[in-house]
């Protein structure tokens, strides 16, 4: 087993990895820059290395040098951009350090997105409709021709992208050129390549992810499905497992398809096969995410399997301890992603100091976070500050626990999307699982409000109105204005 692991990521996932490493008796080395030194992962790691800038988190050479200097056995990339960098995995291997993730050749294969789609389609599985190859961003005529052939709306995607970076939805032809320029520029900055491809946008749809787990001995299993259809800015902010939209026959077929696709690429370690489900219940393969994801807590709650632990054991050469039939599935899980974003300013990132943080607790409530009272949210990273995951033996109980957990959560000091999460949980559409990727394109409906809630809202509104209009004017009582009480307390001269 490993003695020391470097974590090439930050924030809540770094805290998550540190806790599992502690259980395994493994020392950890954390990375941070000046703006992020308040983060909980810096306080919990055994060793900390300060980076000169946030961009250094993407500097493969520097991180490999740090790993060598601290004599680590392995590097865990979290779910950062280096998690899907074949170059990073290869350089670590050449330096004699294990990469906790898929082998470099697997990462290379699954990140060639157009080739993956072609291979999956050739194997007889349905895929999303896309342009036949990666496109030169300077050849606008070819891009326009492909868009017309696919039919609007289309999505501009980075050939090497992920996490919504280098991705733009285009509804009308006149929007295409601007979208291509912006998507390619972002892709170049983040992934080092400005190549893009086009995909016909399936609107509305459900995003279904199937969690895979494979060892180095040829064993591959799935750990169920997740539904991540509630999206803001290309980012899934509410997810649940299992998907409430799938019936049993659909679920069996989509899980079997995910396993077959994973075997096509000899997939190892943790990864997710993603699908889009249309309004008619047909599913289409979209891509493979070759890393652990933010929403892995859902899978851990419904299976009881520690995915980070399994990543480490697989990297160490251990075989999977379960067959597919032995994987336990229990109950329902939901996750809300809490971001430092201002929902009243179009979810603009809002870094700053959190003056007061209160973490919810209770039966089957899990909070992954890096923040605490007085902690700063840095401006240079993803705005995720915490994620709340709840479990119940059915969806109704799980939802009730999520409502209570979000009501107990307190984040004061900088705007967050917590009020939006609280409101979504009380909408009748979410309660009935009547949602899809168009959820936030329409006004949020209101749930059923009790008389007590309406009374409290009326009081809050009245107090807020009064304070805004300066109706509270503090005065000094007349009996304290004469000065006699001050004279009586004077010491003799």
Flag whether pLDDT at 50 surpasses 90.
yes
Give the other-Cβ count within 10 Å of 138's Cβ.
Answer: 10
Would you place residue 165 in the very low, low, confident or very high pLDDT band (cuts 50, 70, 90)? confident
Domain ranges of the chain: 4-100, 129-200, 206-441
- CA end-to-end distance (rounded Å), the chain: 79
Averaged over 170-190, what is the pLDDT?
90
CA distances from 27 to 47, 292, 315 (A): 8, 21, 16
Query: Which CATH number is associated with domain 4-100?
Result: 3.40.50.20
Higher pLDDT, 461 or 50: 50
The pLDDT score that the predictor gives to residue 164 is 74
For residues 420, 425, 428, 431, the Cα torsion angle rounded to the nearest 10 degrees is 150
Averaged over 3-25, what is the pLDDT?
97
Cα–Cα distance, 105 to 309 (Å, whole number): 23
Averaged over 231-241, what is the pLDDT?
93
Would you place residue 454 in the very low, low, confident or very high pLDDT band (cuts 50, 70, 90)? confident
Flag whether pLDDT at 110 surpasses 60.
yes
Would you place residue 489 in the very low, low, confident or very high pLDDT band (cuts 50, 70, 90)? low
Flag whether pLDDT at 460 surpasses 90.
no
Read off the pLDDT of residues 269-320 as tens digits, 9 standing for 90 and up.
Answer: 999 999 999 999 999 999 999 999 999 999 999 999 999 999 999 999 999 9
Averaged over 388-393, what is the pLDDT?
98
* Superfamily designation of domain 206-441: ATP-grasp fold, B domain (3.30.470.20)
Alpha helix (H) residue ranges in 50-112: 60-69, 86-94, 104-111
Would you place residue 188 in the very low, low, confident or very high pLDDT band (cuts 50, 70, 90)? confident
User: How are beta strands 27-32 and 168-170 bridged, if at all?
Assistant: unpaired
Flag whether pLDDT at 161 surpasses 80.
no
User: Could you give the angle at which helices 307-315 and 296-303 cross, rounded to 10 degrees?
Assistant: 100
The pLDDT score that the predictor gives to residue 478 is 65
The pLDDT score that the predictor gives to residue 386 is 97
The pLDDT score that the predictor gives to residue 447 is 56
Averaged over 52-56, what is the pLDDT?
94
User: How are beta strands 74-76 and 4-7 bridged, if at all?
Assistant: parallel
Read off the pLDDT of residues 391-433 as tens digits, 9 standing for 90 and up.
Answer: 999 999 999 999 999 999 999 999 999 999 999 999 999 999 9
For residues 32, 39, 294, 397, the Cα torsion angle rounded to the nearest 10 degrees is 170
Would you place residue 467 in the very low, low, confident or very high pLDDT band (cuts 50, 70, 90)? confident
**Cα-flanking dihedrals φ and ψ of residue 346, to 5°?**
55, 40
The pLDDT score that the predictor gives to residue 195 is 87
Q: Which of 22-26, 340-344, 451-455 has the lowest mean pLDDT?
A: 451-455
90 is catalytic: no
The pLDDT score that the predictor gives to residue 463 is 84
Q: Which of 8-17, 133-142, 295-304 has the lowest mean pLDDT?
A: 133-142
* Superfamily designation of domain 129-200: ATP-grasp fold, A domain (3.30.1490.20)
Q: What are the E-state strand segments in 80-165?
A: 98-99, 154-158
Read off the pLDDT of residues 238-280 as tens digits, 9 standing for 90 and up.
Answer: 999 999 999 999 999 999 999 999 999 999 999 999 999 999 9
Would you place residue 211 in the very low, low, confident or very high pLDDT band (cuts 50, 70, 90)? very high
The pLDDT score that the predictor gives to residue 294 is 96
Flag whether pLDDT at 148 surpasses 80.
yes
Flag whether pLDDT at 488 surpasses 90.
no
Q: Residue 15 in 3-state DSSP?
A: helix
DSSP 180-213: HHHHHHHHHHHHS---EEEEE--SS-EEEEEEEE
**How many CA atoms are closer than 13 Å to the CA of 301, on its beta-carbon side?**
29
Q: Residue 153 in 3-state DSSP?
A: coil
Would you place residue 483 in the very low, low, confident or very high pLDDT band (cuts 50, 70, 90)? low
Name the catalytic one among 16, 168, 291, 337: 291
Token digits of residue 377: 């949210």
Token digits of residue 222: 């799935």
The pLDDT score that the predictor gives to residue 455 is 86
Cα–Cα distance, 436 to 276 (Å, whole number): 11
Asked whether 389 and 332 are in contact (CB, 8 A), the reply is: no
Flag whether pLDDT at 446 surpasses 80.
no
What's the full length of the chain, in residues?
Answer: 493
The pLDDT score that the predictor gives to residue 448 is 55
Would you place residue 100 in the very low, low, confident or very high pLDDT band (cuts 50, 70, 90)? very high
User: How are beta strands 196-200 and 98-99 bridged, if at all?
Assistant: unpaired
Cα–Cα distance, 112 to 130 (Å, whole number): 14
């Amino acid at each position: 087993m490993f003695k020391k692991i470097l974590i090439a990521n930050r924030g809540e996932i770094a805290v998550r990895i540190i806790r599992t490493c502690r259980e395994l008796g493994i020392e950890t080395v954390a990375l941070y820059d000046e703006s992020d030194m308040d983060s909980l992962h810096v306080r919990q790691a055994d060793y900390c290395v300060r980076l000169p800038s946030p961009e250094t988190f993407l500097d493969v050479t520097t991180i490999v040098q740090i790993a060598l200097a601290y004599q680590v056995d392995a590097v865990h990339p979290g779910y950062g951009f280096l998690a899907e960098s074949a170059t990073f995995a290869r350089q670590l291997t050449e330096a004699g350090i294990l990469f906790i993730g898929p082998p470099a050749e697997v990462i290379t294969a699954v990140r060639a997105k157009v080739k993956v789609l072609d291979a999956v389609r050739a194997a007889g599985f349905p895929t999303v409709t896309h342009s036949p190859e990666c496109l030169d961003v300077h050849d606008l005529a070819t891009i326009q021709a492909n868009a017309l052939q696919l039919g609007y709306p289309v999505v501009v995607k980075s050939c090497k992208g992920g996490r919504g970076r280098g991705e733009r939805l285009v509804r009308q032809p006149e929007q295409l050129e601007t979208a291509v320029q912006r998507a390619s520029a972002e892709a170049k900055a983040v992934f080092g390549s400005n190549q893009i491809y086009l995909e016909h946008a399936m609107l509305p749809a459900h995003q279904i992810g199937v969690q895979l787990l494979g060892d180095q001995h040829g064993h591959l299993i799935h750990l169920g499905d997740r539904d991540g259809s509630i999206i803001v800015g290309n980012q899934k902010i509410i997810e649940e497992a299992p998907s409430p939209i799938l019936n049993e026959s659909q679920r069996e077929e989509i899980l079997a398809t995910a396993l077959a696709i994973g075997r096509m690429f000899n997939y190892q370690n943790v990864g997710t096969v993603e699908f889009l489900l249309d309004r008619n219940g047909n599913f289409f393969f979209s891509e493979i995410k070759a890393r652990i994801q933010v929403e892995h807590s859902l899978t851990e709650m419904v299976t009881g399997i520690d995915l980070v632990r399994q990543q480490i054991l697989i990297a160490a050469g251990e075989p999977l301890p379960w067959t597919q039939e032995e994987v336990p599935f229990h109950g329902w899980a939901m996750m809300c992603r809490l971001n430092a974003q201002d929902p009243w300013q179009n979810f603009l990132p809002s870094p700053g100091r959190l003056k007061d943080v209160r973490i919810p607790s209770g039966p089957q409530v899990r909070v992954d976070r890096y923040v605490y009272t007085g902690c700063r949210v840095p401006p240079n990273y993803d705005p995720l500050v915490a994620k709340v995951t709840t479990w119940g033996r059915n969806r109704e109980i799980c939802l009730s626990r999520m409502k209570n957990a979000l009501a107990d959560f307190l984040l004061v000091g900088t705007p967050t999307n917590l009020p939006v999460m609280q409101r979504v949980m009380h909408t009748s559409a979410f309660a009935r699982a009547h949602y899809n990727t168009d959820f936030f394109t329409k006004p949020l409906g209101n749930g059923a409000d009790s008389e007590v809630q309406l009374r409290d809202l009326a009081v809050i509104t009245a107090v807020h109105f009064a304070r805004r209009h300066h109706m509270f004017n503090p005065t000094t009582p007349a009996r304290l204005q004469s000065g006699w009480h001050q004279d009586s307390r004077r010491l003799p001269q």
